[in-house]
């Protein structure tokens, strides 16, 4: 094992709390080579593709990586710079980082640093952890920004954290946030975003809550993701006072020929107009930040499916992104998960101040005695 040595800790340096925000990732640029690198890393993750390596390797390297990167690059070019220069997901993640840094710095008893890491692409999880280490973080809260737990997202993010820390000589204290799918602040922010949309665009006949899909066999193997999506959907509908026929949960972004959890978002939107549903709004509660899967797939591609089938009014309700109520909810979530640490940080600061006072008093006494 090769350790990183002296950079792991600087003796005498001040300690602080670190918060590591994690999300899925993004290519470095919307080009075919960049997408090939990104997709290779993403689709090589055994948490994402649960197939034997001997079976998946030739499919990935001989077929997918020779065909999909160019198509994906074109899709990314269509959304690149959507929220400012560069990747939408990274742009929003940086805004979330800044918003949480400002809130936590004002609210926490001791010093705190917030860093952003991407499971695939840059900034990597290892880079984000190094940023926190260099800032003096000895306690780190790991917060994957996936409200609903899934092995392919949340657990994979934890894998990346542990892999990075294998090279550290002195590991920090860690706490992990598994999920927050029924968190009050999160649900209230979702409900507020829907109410704001309805106030501007009118009440849709049906609110579609579209979550990212996973293969059906993941559910059958015990992954709680499907259940947590439905819990979020039910609780959001209750907050909005929706009748059972005014909302539904669907799943998007399926990949390959395998059966995924249903109902599928695209097939649902194709079928609704013939049922007399001509006005829909779609929200993606599982995405903490807008990205390719929301801007292009939901905002554009699925809009086309609905209107081509006879739908008349289609709206995508943006992800919570850097809304104040979203960041306030995340800040409260961080407070809850750092209980004890927060007070400890404050206690350390007071203890250091006390020790300095004692040292100064001793020095004055010694000087007077001389």
Enumerate the known binding-site residues for Fe(2+). 212, 293
Cis peptide before 263 (omega within 30 of 0): yes
- Using alpha carbons only, give the angle 97, 98, 99 rounded to the nearest 5 degrees: 95
Residues contributing to the annotated binding site:
212, 293
**d(Cα 265, Cα 33) in Å, to the nearest integer?**
30
**d(Cα 173, Cα 140) in Å, to the nearest integer?**
6
Sheet with 279-283: strands ordered across: 247-252, 206-212, 279-283, 313-317
**d(Cα 88, Cα 95) in Å, to the nearest integer?**
11
Report phi then psi at 143, rounded to 5: -120, 90
**d(Cα 200, Cα 45) in Å, to the nearest integer?**
42
**d(Cα 357, Cα 277) in Å, to the nearest integer?**
72
Picking from 233, 235, 267, the residue whose alpha carbon sits closest to that of residue 247 is 233
């Amino acid at each position: 094992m090769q350790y990183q040595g002296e950079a792991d800790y600087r003796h005498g340096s001040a300690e602080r709390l670190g918060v590591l925000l994690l999300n899925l990732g993004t290519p470095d640029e919307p080009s075919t080579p960049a997408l090939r690198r990104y997709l290779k890393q993403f689709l090589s993750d055994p948490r994402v593709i649960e197939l034997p390596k001997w079976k998946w390797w030739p499919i990935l390297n001989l077929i997918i990586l020779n065909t999909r990167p160019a198509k994906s690059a074109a899709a990314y070019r269509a959304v690149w710079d959507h929220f400012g220069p560069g990747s939408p997901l990274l742009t929003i993640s940086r805004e979330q980082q800044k918003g949480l840094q400002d809130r936590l710095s004002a609210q926490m008893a001791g010093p705190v640093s917030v860093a952003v890491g991407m499971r695939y692409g840059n900034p990597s999880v290892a880079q984000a952890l190094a940023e926190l280490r260099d800032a003096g973080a000895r306690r780190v809260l790991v917060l994957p920004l996936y409200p609903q737990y899934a092995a392919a997202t949340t657990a994979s993010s934890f894998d990346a954290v542990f892999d990075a820390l294998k090279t550290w000589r002195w590991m920090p204290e860690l706490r992990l946030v598994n999920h927050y799918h029924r968190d009050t602040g999160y649900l209230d922010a979702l409900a507020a975003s829907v109410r704001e949309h309805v106030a501007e665009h009118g009440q849709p006949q049906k609110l579609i809550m579209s979550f990212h899909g996973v293969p059906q066999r993941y559910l059958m193997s015990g992954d709680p993701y499907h259940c947590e999506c439905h819990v979020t959907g039910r609780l959001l509908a209750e907050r909005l006072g929706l009748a059972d026929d005014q909302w539904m949960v669907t799943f998007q972004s399926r990949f390959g020929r395998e059966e995924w959890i249903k109902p599928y978002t695209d097939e649902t939107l194709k079928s609704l107009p013939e049922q007399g549903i001509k006005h829909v709004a779609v929200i993606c509660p599982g995405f903490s930040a807008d990205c390719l899967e929301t801007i292009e797939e939901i905002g554009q591609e699925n809009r086309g499916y609905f209107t081509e089938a006879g739908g008349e009014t289609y709206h995508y309700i943006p992800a919570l992104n850097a809304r104040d109520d979203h960041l306030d909810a995340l800040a409260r979530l961080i407070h809850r998960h750092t209980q004890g640490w927060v007070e400890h940080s404050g206690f350390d600061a007071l203890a250091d101040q006390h020790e300095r006072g004692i040292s100064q008093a001793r020095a004055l006494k010694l000087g007077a005695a001389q």
